[in-house]
């Protein structure tokens, strides 16, 4: 029986984020194309004595700004899974961050998905995929996608997934900002900017799906669009400068990732990604720059000991 289970879980970028009207539950109706990228948080679950409950240590990039208590989504995921299984949530969790905190790349959701998979293996529950999806959807809008990875359409709050056919590998550069942006604040700013205008039902652009099917990075770069971008740029005007730097240095497309403030740049190839990364680092408008690729696999066990 394993005493420690280690899980890797990817960040996401929304290739399109179409934000529709506000629903009666306060969430916005979405149509989005999620794309998992190889920027990975590690979640480790270690056996704890009976009655110990959950404990959590957060390590890595910007760890000090992550709450290591019962409000953390990874902690809540462990409690939700144990409740579902009718057992006590005795586990020591260690989360090692590489995904930017409050960066619009679903880092907290990734940690929740990682905790579900790690605890399910540690406690030898064999929870069905459907039950894990249901638990994930309650934890947050992006947690279900972090379980699945790859590239997928999300509807509803983002938790209802359907697969997307995508070929090839895409090269990405991410510009990480100083400090995060609050997701609710960005949605609220989006509502404020829209004022009383009628908001149409959100739709995915056929050109974007066609670009993914064909593995066509040039067409994908042109089709990428994020309805939250005006709101994120309104709250953090410097993001406009960062996006321009990437576009001026060969990016095929540049968008704010999710609710921001991370900016995502699609590159032609690994060499072009390096050029974009060097230019962004030199411009001094962001905290750090990461080069990676997608699509990446969803939450998965990488070691048991
Ligand atoms: O589901 P999650 O916890 O990630 O959502 C965080 C916040 O983002 C919500 O409380 C809400 O303010 C906003 N949100 C939204 N519509 C969505 C998803 C998130 O308004 N579809």
pLDDT (0 to 100) of residue 58: 98
Question: Is 142 marked active-site?
Answer: yes
Tokens linked to 153? 């359409």
Q: Is 21 in the pocket of ligand 1 (CB under 6 A)?
A: no
- Taking 3-state DSSP, the helix, strand and coil percentages for the chain, each rounded to the nearest 5, stand at 35, 30, 35
Among residues 3, 12, 38, 269, the one annotated as catalytic is 12
pLDDT (0 to 100) of residue 116: 99
d(Cα 213, Cα 185) in Å, to the nearest integer?
34
Q: Is 259 in the pocket of ligand 1 (CB under 6 A)?
A: no
DSSP 65: G
d(Cα 275, Cα 245) in Å, to the nearest integer?
11
Tokens linked to 14? 């929304």
Ligand 1, atom 14, residue with closest C-alpha: 27
Tokens linked to 295? 């699509």
Q: Which helix (H) or strand (E) holds 31?
A: strand 28-47
pLDDT (0 to 100) of residue 184: 97
Q: Which atom of ligand 1 is nearest to the CA of 158?
A: 21
Q: Is 145 in the pocket of ligand 1 (CB under 6 A)?
A: no
Tokens linked to 53? 């409950």
Query: What backbone torsions phi and psi does residue 50 show, to the nearest 5 degrees?
Result: -55, 130
CA-based radius of gyration for the chain = 19
Ligand 1, atom 20, residue with closest C-alpha: 27
Tokens linked to 184? 């609710």
Ligand 1, atom 19, residue with closest C-alpha: 27
Q: Along the chain (305 residues), what's the average pLDDT of each consecutive run of 10 residues?
A: 96 98 97 98 98 98 96 98 98 98 97 98 98 98 98 97 97 96 98 96 98 98 98 98 98 98 98 98 96 98 98
Q: Is the pTM of this model over 0.95?
A: yes
Question: Is 227 marked active-site?
Answer: no
Report how far ligand 1's centroid is from the alpha carbon of 19 (Å). 11
pLDDT (0 to 100) of residue 1: 82
Q: Is 186 in the pocket of ligand 1 (CB under 6 A)?
A: no
Say how many Å lie between the first and final Cα of the chain, rounded: 8
């Amino acid at each position: 029986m394993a005493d420690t289970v280690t899980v890797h879980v990817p960040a996401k970028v929304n290739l399109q984020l179409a934000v529709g009207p506000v629903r009666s539950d306060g969430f916005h109706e979405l149509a989005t194309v999620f794309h998992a990228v190889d920027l990975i948080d590690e979640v480790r679950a270690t056996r704890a004595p009976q009655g110990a409950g959950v404990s959590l240590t957060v390590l890595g990039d910007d760890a000090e700004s992550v709450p290591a208590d019962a409000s953390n989504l990874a902690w809540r995921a462990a409690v939700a899974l144990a409740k579902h299984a009718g057992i006590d949530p005795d586990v020591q969790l260690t989360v090692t961050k590489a995904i930017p905190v409050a960066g619009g790349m679903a880092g907290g959701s990734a940690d929740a998905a990682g905790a579900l998979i790690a605890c399910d293996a540690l406690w030898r529950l064999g929870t069905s995929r459907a039950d894990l999806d249901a638990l994930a959807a309650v934890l947050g809008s992006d947690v279900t996608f972090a379980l699945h990875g790859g590239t997928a359409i999300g509807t509803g709050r983002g938790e209802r997934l359907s697969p997307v056919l995508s070929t090839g590998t895409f090269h990405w550069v991410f510009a990480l900002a100083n400090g995060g942006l609050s997701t609710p604040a960005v949605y609220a700013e989006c509502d404020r900017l829209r004022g009383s205008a009628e908001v149409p039902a959100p739709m995915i652009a056929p050109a974007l799906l066609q670009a993914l099917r064909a593995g066509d990075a040039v067409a994908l770069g042109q089709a990428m669009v994020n309805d939250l971008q005006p709101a994120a740029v309104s709250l953090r005007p410097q993001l406009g400068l960062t996006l321009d730097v990437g576009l001026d240095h060969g990016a095929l497309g540049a968008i704010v990732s999710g609710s921001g403030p991370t900016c995502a740049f699609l590159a032609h190839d690994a060499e072009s990604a390096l050029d974009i990364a060097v230019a962004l680092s030199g411009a001094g408008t962001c905290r750090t720059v990461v080069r990676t690729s997608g699509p990446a696999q969803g939450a998965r066990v990488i070691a048991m000991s």
